[in-house]
Amino acid sequence: MDKVAKTISLKKYGIDTANVHYQLSPNELHKITLEKGMGKEASSGALAVNTGEFTGRSPLDRFIVKDAVTDDKVWWGNVNIPFEPKAFDALYDKVTNYLTNKDVYVRDSFACADKDYRLNIRVINEYPWSNMFADNMFLRPTKSELQDFDPEWLIVNAPGFMADAKVDGTRQHNFAILNFTRKIALIGGTGYTGEIKKGIFSALNFILPVYKNTLPMHCSANVGKDGDTAIFFGLSGTGKTTLSADPNRRLIGDDEHGWTKENTVFNFEGGCYAKVINLSEENEPEIYGAIKKGALLENVVLDASGNVDFADTSITQNTRVSYPIDHIANIQVPSIGKNPKNIFFLTADAFGVLPPISKLTPSQAAYHFISGYTAKVAGTEAGIVEPTPNFSACFGAPFMPLHPTVYAEMLSKKMKEAGVNVWLVNTGWTGGPYGIGTRMKLKYTRAMITAALNGDLGLYSYDKYHIHSVFGVAQPRECPGVPTEVLSPRSTWNDDEKYYTTAFKLSNAFRENFKKFESFANEEIRRGGPQRYAF
Ligand code: ATP
Ligand code: MN
């Protein structure tokens, strides 16, 4: 990229600094990061950094300023934690004061690939590599778009600034605060880059449904040769990024999309953020190949020759790489697709009881969307390893400022209008729970998804499908490329009693979790839950 013939002042933001580095290219940021000793170059050419104390988001330190814009709209609670406007103003001034006279890296970019929905973003970073992350993840303006760029939202990102909880009104030294009136995301005390992208995601999850009649979704999306769009919802680690990178389908995006009133699906972002734990070229060639110059690796361990050991989780299990979307060969340009034909709900069921693929009725689709189930596996240390169910409404509760039923109702309506097929895909365990069974083979999951997309799983009928006796979902009896016994979780266990005991344990957890939504959900949605009684 050519140098940008433009300089900007940050005075209006309260930052009086002579050292503004505006719109540097990824190469320049890569170089500066190395020069400052803040990163290393991997043998692939990618830049590798450590994000410091935080290697993941900190949901308990995510706040929303409670004011006239948000007060009666946001679903306040322990996900959307209120923050005083005055406390925000004071903390903002402290952070900008902290950044004064420092080198700061400023970038203008967009969110939302559809121009009618575009959000102009200015990011101010304390660290060069955080600014490179912003360049990878947001949409990159052209030179002419930059000339008259008018920023709407501001992200101030100061990982080195530590809040004083008692004075500043935070929980501890780190914080990520959204202010919808001032249109600012204020992030401090954490270098974890995911806070930057999920800050804007959370802002859009408020803006799009409230002002633009558009459904924001925590999902990946891709499009087939015939232009058919598929979207994949799922919580972290369930396979959104992995499964959307499909050599036979063009990638729209790997994490955040909007479904518009014009019945299109657009990516919010301009890049991907893949998990790299145990990444192999054989299993995930597209992602593996994207890790080259311009990509930013986080919290991985390099050997003396700069090779990444993807099995090394000594820093964190949540090792990551971000890269501009065009590091993937097969992409949709621009990142927009038509009305989806297939929706996949991905879940990593560590109990190993959900079928690897099943078809959902509209009631079940609504029920599972509101439930947002996946499982967490207890630490990797030896000893007792009981999986715990993790329910997160809309498959993304930490990022959803509004009540889950707002999103669920929009989705139900859109699904009905589009006549979409909805599938529940268990990318988690088979042959028993975590500790006894094994993770579903990626090649089987891919084969099941391909079969669903190609219409190879047949029409919904009793000879093609078995209705699961606990969850009521329709389990295909056969699938090209997948051994038949794998399709029935019960038969992979070889112990019916244990299987059903565990299945009922999970169905009880579903019902327990759903209680808080019962008063909002109509009869149709409630019918989509697991069956009530053992038999
Ligand atoms: P996030 O929201 O945090 O970005 P994600 O949904 O995008 O999460 P992925 O990055 O796709 O999750 O992670 C899925 C992980 O699980 C990858 O490391 C992948 O290799 C691994 N995996 C193992 N088996 C499967 C499977 N059968 N299907 C999908 N992923 C699998
Ligand atoms: Mn992902």
Q: Cα(341) to centroid of ligand 1, in Å?
A: 22
Beta bridge partners, 119, equal: 111
170 is in an annotated binding site: no
User: To which CATH superfamily is domain 12-38+61-212 assigned?
Assistant: Phosphoenolpyruvate Carboxykinase, domain 1 (3.40.449.10)
3-state secondary structure of 456: coil
Higher pLDDT pick, 379 / 319: 319
Burial string for 427-465 (b: 16+ CB within 10 Å, else e) reads bbbbbbbbeebebbbbebbbbbbbbbbeeebeeeeeeeb
pLDDT at residue 1 in the model: 46
What gap in Å lies between CA 307 and CA 330, rounded to an integer?
Answer: 26
pLDDT at residue 379 in the model: 57
Would you kindly state where each structural domain of the chain is located, as residue ranges? 12-38+61-212, 215-259+339-527, 273-327
Q: Strand 357-360 vs strand 336-338: parallel, antiparallel, or unpaired? A: unpaired
Span 342-349, mean pLDDT? 98
Residues 6+ apart with CB under 8 A from 448: 356, 357, 425, 479, 481, 482
pLDDT at residue 383 above 80? Answer: no
pLDDT at residue 531 in the model: 75
What gap in Å lies between CA 500 and CA 364, rounded to an integer?
Answer: 20
Confidence of residue 535 (pLDDT cuts 50, 70, 90): very low
Architecture in CATH for domain 215-259+339-527: Alpha-Beta Complex (3.90)
User: For residue 185, how far is the Cα from the chain centroid?
Assistant: 18
pLDDT at residue 378 in the model: 66
pLDDT at residue 533 above 60? Answer: no
pLDDT, one tens digit per residue, over 159-213 is 999 999 999 999 999 999 999 999 999 999 999 999 999 999 999 999 999 999 9
- Dihedral angle sign, alpha carbons of residues 454, 460, 464, 465: positive
- Asked whether the beta carbons of 230 and 245 are under 8 A apart, the reply is no
pLDDT above 90 covers a percentage of the chain that reads 92
Which residues form the catalytic set?
57, 198, 218, 236, 240-241, 255, 320
What gap in Å lies between CA 341 and CA 344, rounded to an integer?
Answer: 10
Span 384-402, mean pLDDT? 91
pLDDT at residue 462 in the model: 81
pLDDT at residue 4 in the model: 59
pLDDT at residue 385 in the model: 62
Residue of 238, 272, 291, 450 with the most ligand 1 atoms within 8 Å of its CB, for mutation = 238
Ligand 1 atom having least distance to the Cα of 232: 6
526's enclosing H/E stretch is helix 523-526
Confidence of residue 377 (pLDDT cuts 50, 70, 90): confident
Query: How many other C-beta atoms can be found within 10 angstroms of the C-beta atom of residue 36?
Result: 12
Sheet architecture: strand order including 257-259 = 215-217, 257-259, 264-267, 336-338
CATH number of 273-327: 2.170.8.10
Verify whether ligand 1 is closer than 6 Å to residue 405 (CB atom): no
User: For residue 19, how far is the Cα from the chain centroid?
Assistant: 33
Residues 6+ apart with CB under 8 A from 376: 350, 387, 388, 389, 390
Span 274-292, mean pLDDT? 98
What gap in Å lies between CA 148 and CA 130, rounded to an integer?
Answer: 24
Confidence of residue 296 (pLDDT cuts 50, 70, 90): very high
User: What does R_g of the chain's alpha carbons equal in angstroms?
Assistant: 23
What gap in Å lies between CA 259 and CA 416, rounded to an integer?
Answer: 14
Pick the residue whose CA is nearest to atom 25 on ligand 1.
442
Share the mean pLDDT of the chain. Answer: 95
Name which of 416, 114, 376 is nearest 257 in CA terms.
114
21's enclosing H/E stretch is strand 20-22
Beta bridge partners, 439, equal: 429
pLDDT, one tens digit per residue, over 29-77 is 999 999 999 999 999 999 999 999 999 999 999 999 999 999 999 999 9
HEC states along 255-287?
CCEEECCCCEEEECCCEEEEECCCCCCCCCHHH
Pick the residue whose CA is nearest to atom 30 on ligand 1.
239
